[in-house]
Amino acid sequence: MKIEGQVAVVTGGASGLGYAAAEALAQRGAKVALLDINPDALRAAAETLPALGVVCDVRKPESAVEALAIVTSKLGRPGICINCAGVGPAKRILGKEGPMPLEDFACVIDINVIGTFNMLRLVAAEMAKREVGPEGERGIIINTASIAAYEGQIGQSAYAASKGAVASLTIPAARELAQFGIRVLAIAPGIFLTPMLKALPEAAQQSLGESIPFPKRLGRPDEYAALALHMIENVMLNGEVVRIDGAIRLAPR
């Protein structure tokens, strides 16, 4: 798919991987809409790019419907969607204070799985109404999994389960939406320098980077964005989860 002129929706677009993807799309001539739950960060990011900023809670059907209605009315129907909205809290199944509260597990599933699927289904409905492009393509949806889906560490049970669900969603969604000319892919990042990791001491960041076989550093958000751009432009990529992790395999802790 040609990126220039496409309407691109990026959830979690106010920071981290989402912002990097949105910035790369804007630089390539896409009309970008940032969806994020944080209004202050969203406003700053939208002004910087520039892009259309829309406050959205991806977990809630009415919020997502309203956000996409704004995007469609102001920019047009999306041909690209990158879902980056998510959370990754660490908590043990059985900790010093007893079993993990069920609501903590449910919250991660709600945001990472329900939120991703909510956006996928609604964006797909809009994409299906578009005119077909070259090779019959109408759109592409890229979700964000994680290598934790495959090697979740101690304390990552909720996060790993949620990202495993996102990874498993990829092939059935791609198969089902193929009839509409919509591709579905997922990216599984390794250890990336996102705002959460930037809060760690420099020594801790360096230690994490050195654990990666090659290159021995943390991943950069622009590298995630570069992979997303390639996925968009390479029509033969469909139904796949692609790891981007420097060949690391996570240890138990």
Distance CA 53, CA 81 (A): 14
Distance CA 134, CA 13 (A): 28
Distance CA 138, CA 157 (A): 36
- Residue written as token pair 């139904």: 239
Q: Which of 19, 150, 159, 224 is catalytic?
A: 159
Task: Give which of 78, 80, 79, 83 is closest to 68, Cα–Cα.
Answer: 78
Residue 219 DSSP label: B
Q: How far is CA 133 from CA 23, 122, 123, 138, 180, in A?
A: 24, 20, 17, 6, 11
Does 19 qualify as catalytic in the annotation? no
Distance CA 175, CA 188 (A): 20
Cβ(36)–Cβ(103) under 8 Å? no
Residues involved in catalysis = 159
